[in-house]
Amino acid sequence: MASNIPRIAYRFNNVLYVALTNNAVGRSLLELRGPGYRLPTESRFQALPDDVQVTADAVDEAVDAANSVDQASTPFGTVFAGHLGDPLLELDTMVSARPMLTLRVCHGTSMLCLPEGEQH
């Protein structure tokens, strides 16, 4: 269930990060930055549970939740993040989630791009 997935989205430096997986090719970016590296506490970053498969709907829900926590500022952008896992390992999920992110994050944009190329 999407609602059981904790904090797929986290934000700092006014950028919204979306984690799609914990799997990485080689060592993760968090590991590579060194044992003393910490993401800011206010980012509310959390590793995904190992057995969870993130879906596009779950991403959408998590982004909504992240934006409702901090409504004061609109993020500059959305980054499919590789702090723990590599988002390109979940390319299909990313492709399906992107249009939803575009719609929700832009707050009132009138255009929704679908992967198939349709525009509404």
Partner 1 sequence: MAIGILTSGNFDVGVAERLINLRDRLDIETISVSVNLGSADPPSYAKATGCDPGAFSQVCSFVSTLTENKFPVKCFAIEHPVCSTAIVLLCHTGLPNYFSPLARRISQSVKRKVRAAKKLSASLGAIEFLSLPYYPSTLYDVLGLEHGDQVRWPALFSMVHSFTFSIADCVHVKSSTEEIKGAFRTLSLQLHPDRAVGASDEEIRELKTRYDEVTAA
Comparison of 17 and 45: residue with beta carbon closer to partner 1: 17
> Within positions 59 to 98, which residues make up the interface with partner 1, using CB under 8 A?
76-83, 86-88, 91, 94-95, 98
Residue 29 touching partner 1 (CB under 8 A)? yes
Q: Are strands 15-19 and 77-81 parallel, antiparallel or unpaired?
A: parallel
| In contact, 83 and 47? CB cutoff 8 Å | no
CB of 113 to partner 1, least distance (A): 5
What is the C-alpha to C-alpha distance for residues 100 and 59, in angstroms, rounded to an integer? Answer: 9
What is the C-alpha to C-alpha distance for residues 61 and 55, in angstroms, rounded to an integer? Answer: 10
Q: Which of 13, 27, 51, 120 binds partner 1 (CB under 8 A)?
A: 27
Radius of gyration over alpha carbons of the chain, in Å? 14
The 3-class SS string of 103-114 reads HHHCCCCCCCEC
Residue 120 touching partner 1 (CB under 8 A)? no
Residue 108 touching partner 1 (CB under 8 A)? no
> For binding to partner 1 (CB under 8 A), which residues are involved?
15, 17, 24-27, 29, 31-38, 76-83, 86-88, 91, 94-95, 98-99, 101-102, 105-106, 109, 113, 115, 117
